[in-house]
Amino acid sequence: MIEDPIADLVARLLAQRVIPRDDELARRALLDEPFREELDRRLAAVGLTLREHPYAAHLTLAVARPQERAVFAQDNAWLSNTLQLDRDAVALLVVLWAQIVLPKRQRQRERLDAESAAAQQEQMFADSQPIPLQHDVAPVIAERTLLADFGDRLGGRTRINFNLGVLARHGFIQRRGGEISEGPLLDLLFDYERTSRRILDGALSELLGSQPQPATEGGTDG
């Protein structure tokens, strides 16, 4: 039997949805340029793309941009997701991403900026090695705080509790002892460079039923 590590990697991503960044094949996809080029070519041939981020601890697959219309445009409308999540579940997911991933990203970047020259030399391949996801880096949200802050706009206690269970089953979050923490898919949920401003300045306000604030000048975290 002829070995095909690219087929193995794609099959695992399809079956498992996420693969740790330190997995042997995942690291090869990040560090081996010919391997990555062939992987991207074969994924593009079936309308998919590898979703990864320098600070994320996992890899996953996403619909490639040229195929987004074929997948998401239906009946003169644009689907927000392919997981049959209701509007309030999507709004909750955006809120959790904004409260967990954005602060984590800022802390990760501050930590990286604080590295010494020697440490930065060791980080030569930092674009393929995520900052460790320690407890002081990835925020944890108390469910009671989430209910107090957003309960009236996200369907109330019963609906939020139901949607948290759905999001946990999909791998976006983890729930333990009344606290919500990051799941393996949350950090890969959005293309930062493409959607961070839209989420923070537009989609979040729209989903929560309030008016968006004017966008500030300058770039956004990506």
Residues forming beta bridges with residue 74, ordered by sequence position: 77
Q: Is residue 39 within a helix (H) or strand (E), and if so which, with residue range?
A: helix 33-44
* Higher local confidence (pLDDT), 217 or 58: 58
Residue with tokens 């927000």: 80
110 and 150, same structural domain?
Answer: yes
35 and 129, same structural domain?
Answer: no
Residues forming beta bridges with residue 32, ordered by sequence position: none
102 and 62, same structural domain?
Answer: no
pTM of the model: 0.76
Do residues 172 and 96 lie in contact, with contact meaning Cβ atoms separated by under 8 Å? Answer: yes
Mean pLDDT is highest, among 94-108, 109-123, 202-216, for 94-108
167 and 92, same structural domain?
Answer: yes
145 and 103, same structural domain?
Answer: yes
pLDDT of residue 76: 74
**CATH code of the domain covering residue 147:** 1.10.10
49 and 18, same structural domain?
Answer: yes
Q: Is residue 117 within a helix (H) or strand (E), and if so which, with residue range?
A: helix 117-122
26 band by pLDDT with thresholds 50, 70 and 90: very high
Structural domain of residue 33, as residue ranges?
5-72
Per-residue pLDDT of 92-115, as tens digits, reads: 998 998 889 888 887 877 777 766
141 and 65, same structural domain?
Answer: no
pLDDT of residue 112: 73
Domain end: 46, 72, 98, which one?
A: 72
Structural domain contains residue 144? yes
Angle at 116 between CA 111 and CA 120, to 5 degrees: 80
Structural domain contains residue 184? yes
115 and 56, same structural domain?
Answer: no
Do residues 190 and 199 lie in contact, with contact meaning Cβ atoms separated by under 8 Å? Answer: yes
Provide the domain count of the chain. 2
Structural domain contains residue 172? yes
147 band by pLDDT with thresholds 50, 70 and 90: very high
The token pair at 70 is: 């074929």
d(CA 26, CA 218): 34
Q: What are the φ/ψ torsions at residue 172 (nearest 5 degrees)? A: -80, -35
Structural domain contains residue 96? yes
Single-letter amino acid, residue 94: V
222 band by pLDDT with thresholds 50, 70 and 90: very low
Structural domain contains residue 59? yes
d(CA 121, CA 169): 40
Domain end: 49, 72, 95, which one?
A: 72
Residue-level length of the chain = 222
91 and 66, same structural domain?
Answer: no
Lowest-confidence region among 33-47, 71-85, 93-107, 206-220: 206-220
pLDDT value at 121 more than 60:
no
51 and 97, same structural domain?
Answer: no
What is the mean predicted confidence (pLDDT) over 30-53?
96
Structural domain contains residue 217? no
pLDDT of residue 135: 43
Domain end: 44, 72, 100, which one?
A: 72
57 and 126, same structural domain?
Answer: no
202 and 174, same structural domain?
Answer: yes
- Percentage of residues in the chain with pLDDT exceeding 70? 76
> How high does pLDDT run on average in the chain?
82
Per-residue pLDDT of 166-194, as tens digits, reads: 999 999 999 999 999 999 999 998 776 66
pLDDT of residue 189: 85
Structural domain contains residue 219? no
Lowest-confidence region among 44-58, 83-97, 131-145: 131-145
